Structure 1
Amino acid sequence: MDKNNCSVDLRKLILMLSIVSGLVIVVSAFYAAYSVQRQQLIQASLANNYVYADKLAKTTDDFLGSAQQQLMFSAAVLSGKLNDKSTLASEVDRIRLQTDSFNSVLIVDVTTEVLATSPEALQITGLKLSTPGVLESIRQRAPVISNPYVSTAGNLLIFISHPIFSGNGDYLGFVAGTVYLKKKSALHRLLGEHYHKDGSYIYVVDQNRRLIYHPNAARLGETVDNNPLIDRLVQGDEGESIIVNSEGVEMLTGFAIARKTGWGVVAQRPMRAALAPLDNLMQQVVYKTLPAVILCFVVIVWSAKKISMPLRMLADGAQRMNDDGTEKNIQNVKSWYFEAQELKKAMLLGVGLLHGNIRKLREDLHKDPLTGLGNRRSLDAALQKFKNLQMDFSVLSIDIDYFKTVNDTHGHDVGDTVLQHLAQFLSHICRVDDVPCRVGGEEFIILLPGTHKVDAAKIAERLRQNVEATEIPVVGKITISVGISCYPEDARDVFAVFKHGDEMLYQAKRHGRNRVEVFRPARADAEASA
């Protein structure tokens, strides 16, 4: 009687320990995996937002620089022709219609009288203006990008001007273009095309805390006070931050400065949107693992009627299911009867599925989902490995030329196909130990361990030629620009090496694109001294 009671108690104890320990281990494993990957996703999203904000800031500077160049060319054309009304009318129409940089264009003489304007619907020709942009342009007699203000016609705008001088150097007036902030414009499109459609958005403020761009048009022109993030932008700070916006939504934020104007560009993505891929992936892991876990416990209940020691050993294994050596320990259980053998197989299946799914989760989080190349996490891991091995390496910074034109002309689906084709080129040209990564929209990096700049330049040139010679469906041929730097030859600091690579990439862009530029410290120092 006592033996029977003891046997029943032991069976219940085995079942209780197996069920409780199994649940604790599974939940702990999922919680640990979720917590680690969650933090990595947050850091990656913060970094991506900063890169995106920085890129928009640089693109905004490029847009404003291009607009100023248009006006500078026109100012040269108009020198000595301010009395020719037909020429003035033709020139303002040409500037406005040739590109979509400006919403309106006007020519003003030294007395602030408007000599010509486009479109004529503004009806300000012949008037003398005293708006802030006009007065600042007259006062400075130099190229001007004004702070936002309300014009005579009632538009909130930015005023961009260039002075007109006679052949003798006398100041005659200026030609100016306006960018309306509350109406569609090139600047509006530039800032409004966000790469996420999940509640993410961009906004821009000037040095006076005034909103220049915001997806909520009603807020344009609003001055924002008591905002720590804007305080940092006004001070010229750049970086990443987790904030709660005015609607109480937790946002992952990256922010950067447009150097030409001092405007602050802020890119924000909701925390919940950034974590959505992880939530979906963890659900899939649960769904795939759950049947095996249930099977394990059913087998345990069925087998526990007649066994004690083998079950105890298996229960001990269940308590350490997330340990690396668990599979080997379960394999060593001497299941000398059929029931124990089947239970052993089921537990091995569950452990294998759990570890396999977690490994897959980690691998997916280190790959770019579109191209299959590494992402920033895999790039960081490779750099850490090179650092531990004290290994020299070269950096190839790669960017697709005129990629925005591909997206604008053919759509983002075709743009994605172009990115995938380039990823294939990178994969084919890379050696076993090379590390190809996608780090931004059309930006790629290849790490070449143990490779000096001469060989890296040969590899880059071969890649450039292969890309240029290949036809891509719909798009045709594309080209790339490549910047090369080397660690530790160019710098002992890895961040500086990457910066040199980016500088060479932008130099390749400036020199006509479709080319390879190699960083040369001696030349860089000479240029700095000059």
Structure 2
Amino acid sequence: MNASHPRAAAMPLIPRALPDSFRLRLTLLFGGLFLASALLAALSLDKVLSDRIVRSQGEAMYGLASNIAKAIANNVQERHREVILLAQTPAYVRAPLDSDDLRRSLERTKQAYHYYAWIGIADADGKIVSATSGMLQGQSAAKRPWFIHGQHASFVGDVHQAVLLAKLIPAAANGEPLRFVDFASPIYDPAGKLRGVLATHALWDWVEATIRERLPAENHQQVFIIDKSGNMLSPFEAIGKVRAPAPQTSRQDFRLGLWPDGGDYLYSEARMNEAGLDWRIVVRQPKRQALAALNQLRATLILSGLILTLLLMLAVYKLAALFSRPLEQLAGIAERIGQGDERADWDIAGETQELRQLSRAMRNMTTTLLARKQELTDINANLEQIVAERTDALRETNRQLVRKATELARQARSDALTGLNNRMAANEQLLEEHLRYRRIGATYSVLLLDADHFKRVNDGFGHDAGDRVLRHIADTLRASARVTDFTARYGGEEFLLLLPDTDAKGGAVLAEKIRAAVEQSQAPDVGTITMSIGLATARPDDEQAETVVKRADQALYRAKVAGRNRVGLEEA
């Protein structure tokens, strides 16, 4: 054996160049793996966050549009009702239309709501006999829409300009022309004869004020009001310059895409349909600003990932240095043995117990490696076969378990007789739809259907025939319901339809369609069979999903009492 110390002999055999060092390669490997994992995680998270942020922003826009639409509708309804009630008060019914009492009443009404620009009364011939501040008094309104329609019934006119009235009222500070919404109601004497028409001109400013009160500050959102013909009503600067998008379908709360006038936007809309007015309230925000939070989060994640990667690489480099030095010594000894020095001492003095154990293990390994090589080869071959067989068996077992679990889940929520969803599935869907209604205000309706005189079918034709009739009804419901509707057998001969995004009017149309389809079809064994249907629509004060079903059940009972084969509506 060489008399020099093993460490001294081994050290010159290991290259010292940094690019080839173990510590640098390990550092780069761990750093690269961590960075790649961080990037993959960031990409996955980016997609999830993008979808969630878009949905969250879109639902918030839909809520804002709905809130504005409801506020405008409530204001229109309140002004409409105020004019009707005012025209029915005893003073307007009995007193002369040009009396001072009526004029003072008009002035008080105008002062009570500062967006009233003008309130007046025209006699049965169309001559304005009383008006606030005397404006337009003595002039004829016989050809004005509010007088023409207001002679026969209460009237709400769409937004317009009034040239004569605009000359008498101070112009708007922003230079926009004055625009008005008319409210009118006929005035009858005690005998029911037309005395005249009461009318108000409400400044369009109340709509703009309603929007400003509900639009969050500094969020770069724009609100547009569009009439049923697609004409832009608000804001004034957008009229003739901004093209309105196509109306959204009932199943869409929001969209992310290109507007007709160019530019990517996230936008949503709601309908304001009150007293003959049909307006669309559209809220939009540039895509870049809608996703600003995502861009900021993305930049933060990238920066954090880079910093963590650098810190990890530094820690790995220092840790690798602690291991590389004794390993370099062991590598030098192994190199000497490879050159034929079989007496080389594997002991490394002064190092850790683990490294000394490693040196002893390597010494024992050199004496047994060749003898065990063939044995290890045979063992590895057998082990691979066993692992492959057990892997295949485990894979097959997992597939069977997945199939059984899927089938059990389907059976638990399916009615065995009709193939429809069962009551448990219906209750789950009702709860989910009720939570969505409480969250975003998307209304829904419930139809509760019951086969008329079904006991006679079972008594007269037998229970097998009754089962065939129930399956026939289920098939008819599937064919008549919409794709978005949820159909379930609720118990016995009772069925339930959940109608998402459907108000009472739409639910009544579908209920009548289903009733007629069942009546017109020919059921097995019994021929014609009819159904009674109860309809209920979700209300804001419904605390539980079951409340809507209970009202539908009460409406069903009223349909039964009224003679069956009809649609019963819930009480207002």
Partner of 2:231: 210
Partner of 2:553: 522
In structure 2, relative to structure 1, the CA distance for the partners of 1:236 and 1:42 (3 Å cut) is closer
Runs of 4+ in 1 over 6 A off after TM superposition: 235-238, 386-389, 435-438, 487-490, 496-502
Distance in 2 (CA, whole Å) between partners of 1:62 and 1:48 is 21
Partner of 1:143: 154
How far residue 501 of structure 1 moved from its aligned partner, in angstroms, is 9.4
Matched position secondary structure for 1:126 = coil
In structure 2, relative to structure 1, the CA distance for the partners of 1:7 and 1:226 (3 Å cut) is closer
Q: Deviations over 1:155-190 (max 9, x none)?
A: 321111111122222222211122222xx33x3322
Amino acid at match of 2:279: W
In structure 2, relative to structure 1, the CA distance for the partners of 1:149 and 1:495 (3 Å cut) is closer
How far residue 71 of structure 1 moved from its aligned partner, in angstroms, is 0.6
Partner of 2:379: none
Matched position secondary structure for 2:37 = helix
Partner of 1:162: 185
My pick for the range that moved more, 276-285 or 158-167, is 276-285
Distance in 2 (CA, whole Å) between partners of 1:162 and 1:238 is 38
Distance in 2 (CA, whole Å) between partners of 1:180 and 1:46 is 31
> Is 1:73–2:85 an aligned residue pair?
yes
How far residue 212 of structure 1 moved from its aligned partner, in angstroms, is 2.8
In structure 2, relative to structure 1, the CA distance for the partners of 1:117 and 1:75 (3 Å cut) is same
In structure 2, relative to structure 1, the CA distance for the partners of 1:3 and 1:102 (3 Å cut) is same
TM-score scaled to structure 2, two decimals?
0.53
Distance in 1 (CA, whole Å) between partners of 2:306 and 2:182 is 63
Distance in 1 (CA, whole Å) between partners of 2:289 and 2:489 is 39
Contact 1:491 1:497 (C-alpha < 8 Å) held by counterparts: no
How far residue 494 of structure 1 moved from its aligned partner, in angstroms, is 8.0
How far residue 263 of structure 1 moved from its aligned partner, in angstroms, is 0.8
Contact 1:42 1:274 (C-alpha < 8 Å) held by counterparts: yes
Partner of 2:31: 19
Matched position secondary structure for 2:180 = strand
Q: Deviations over 1:180-225 (max 9, x none)?
A: 22xx33x3322222343211121211123333332xx434xx3578
Match of 1:303 among 319, 325, 344: 319
> Which structure 2 segments of 5+ residues have no match?
1-11, 167-177, 328-352, 356-411, 415-423, 444-487, 505-534, 560-566
Contact 1:115 1:126 (C-alpha < 8 Å) held by counterparts: yes
Match of 1:503 among 534, 538, 543: 538
How far residue 76 of structure 1 moved from its aligned partner, in angstroms, is 0.7
Matched position secondary structure for 1:47 = helix
In structure 2, relative to structure 1, the CA distance for the partners of 1:270 and 1:336 (3 Å cut) is farther
Matched pairs, number: 360
Partner of 2:446: none
Q: Deviations over 1:361-411 (max 9, x none)?
A: xxxxxxxxxxxxxxxxxxxxxxxxx9999594575999xxxxxxxxxxxxx
How far residue 96 of structure 1 moved from its aligned partner, in angstroms, is 1.5
Distance in 1 (CA, whole Å) between partners of 2:230 and 2:81 is 27
Distance in 2 (CA, whole Å) between partners of 1:303 and 1:498 is 68
How far residue 285 of structure 1 moved from its aligned partner, in angstroms, is 4.8
Contact 2:147 2:184 (C-alpha < 8 Å) held by counterparts: no
> Is 1:199–2:220 an aligned residue pair?
yes
> Which structure 1 segments of 5+ residues have no match?
312-334, 338-385, 399-434, 446-486, 509-515
Distance in 1 (CA, whole Å) between partners of 2:303 and 2:83 is 62
The residue correspondences of 1:18-417 to structure 2 (distance < 5 A) are: 18-77=30-89, 78-100=92-114, 102-120=116-134, 123-129=135-141, 132-138=144-150, 141-151=152-162, 152-154=164-166, 155-181=178-204, 184-185=205-206, 187-197=207-217, 198-214=219-235, 217-219=236-238, 222=239, 227=244, 229=245, 231-232=246-247, 239-244=253-258, 249-260=263-274, 261-283=277-299, 285=301, 291-305=307-321, 307=323, 390=425, 392=427, 395=431
Amino acid at match of 2:292: A
Partner of 1:439: 439
How far residue 82 of structure 1 moved from its aligned partner, in angstroms, is 3.9
Matched position secondary structure for 1:83 = coil
Distance in 2 (CA, whole Å) between partners of 1:163 and 1:213 is 30
Q: Deviations over 1:460-479 (max 9, x none)?
A: xxxxxxxxxxxxxxxxxxxx
Distance in 1 (CA, whole Å) between partners of 2:537 and 2:287 is 29
In structure 2, relative to structure 1, the CA distance for the partners of 1:300 and 1:213 (3 Å cut) is same
State, as a whole percentage, how many aligned pairs show the same letter: 13
TM-score scaled to structure 1, two decimals?
0.57
- Whose Rg is larger? 2
How far residue 239 of structure 1 moved from its aligned partner, in angstroms, is 4.1
